[in-house]
């Protein structure tokens, strides 16, 4: 005979029930994401100021970026967000096998993004577009062209770190899901991870047009 108490989701002692615990965790994640918005917001603001100050050279520098890879990565992350949404739904419905597959699928798409980003970074290196590593600029105002790439690598590099962290979280969640940890209403960790992943995707949706499309019409 199975115990109904054992089947119930774990509730920490500071909470009255699982719903209160879920709301507290979600609030904590929203606060964390708000601080991330402020952090990325500072970078976006800095980019915007320099974009209007040195507009012409920023346009020229942007044209050196690989729009095909950037656009493909945008599609990859948008698809991954959809798969992540399905993952949350599967956890809510206690669909263990489907949840594991969807979490791993989201992680794989994240790896595809990072692989394409690595290819693009290598291309930038070969084209001598990496600041302080043999940077070469054929044209006017090389100093501010290099400034564009400083901002580009700072923003995309920081975003890549967030994607890497997200991939690690998804793999761990998939392992826990396989062990049956997210059953009987205990889907909060998956839902919280989903919020983080969607945030990472949204940041890229803003990065792509600002960095890649500024010099294209």
CATH number for the domain that contains residue 34: 1.20.120.80
Examine residue 98 and state whether it is found in any structural domain, yes or no: yes
Q: Which domain holds residue 87?
A: 18-212
Examine residue 9 and state whether it is found in any structural domain, yes or no: no
Q: What pLDDT digit, counting tens, does each position of 35-53 carry?
A: 888 888 888 998 889 888 8
Give whole-number Cα distances, 128 to 64, 124, 154, 189, in Å.
Answer: 11, 6, 17, 43
> Are the C-beta atoms of residues 110 and 170 closer than 8 Å to each other?
yes
Q: In the chain, how many domains are there?
A: 1
Examine residue 40 and state whether it is found in any structural domain, yes or no: yes
Instruction: Output the pTM of the full model.
Output: 0.85
Examine residue 135 and state whether it is found in any structural domain, yes or no: yes
Examine residue 172 and state whether it is found in any structural domain, yes or no: yes
Examine residue 12 and state whether it is found in any structural domain, yes or no: no
Examine residue 187 and state whether it is found in any structural domain, yes or no: yes
Examine residue 6 and state whether it is found in any structural domain, yes or no: no
The predicted pLDDT at position 2 comes to 40
């Amino acid at each position: 005979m199975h115990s109904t108490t054992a089947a119930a989701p774990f509730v920490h002692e500071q909470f009255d029930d699982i719903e209160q615990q879920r709301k507290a965790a979600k609030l904590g994640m929203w606060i964390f994401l708000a601080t991330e918005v402020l952090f990325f917001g500072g970078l976006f603001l800095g980019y915007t100021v320099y974009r209007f100050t040195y507009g012409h050279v920023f346009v020229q520098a942007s044209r050196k970026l690989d729009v095909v890879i950037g656009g493909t990565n945008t599609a990859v992350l948008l698809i991954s967000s959809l798969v992540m949404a399905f993952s949350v739904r599967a956890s809510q419905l206690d669909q263990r096998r489907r949840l594991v597959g969807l979490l791993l699928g989201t992680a794989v798409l994240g790896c595809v993004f990072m692989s394409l980003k690595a290819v693009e970074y290598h291309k930038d290196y070969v084209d001598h577009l990496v600041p302080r590593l043999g940077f070469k600029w054929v044209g006017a105002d090389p100093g501010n062209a290099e400034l564009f790439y400083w901002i580009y690598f700072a923003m995309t590099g920081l975003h890549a770190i967030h994607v890497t962290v997200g991939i690690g979280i998804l793999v761990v969640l998939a392992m826990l899901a396989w062990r049956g940890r997210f059953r009987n209403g205990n889907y909060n960790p998956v839902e919280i991870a989903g919020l983080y992943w969607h945030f990472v995707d949204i940041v890229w949706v803003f990065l792509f047009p600002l960095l890649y499309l500024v010099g294209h019409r």
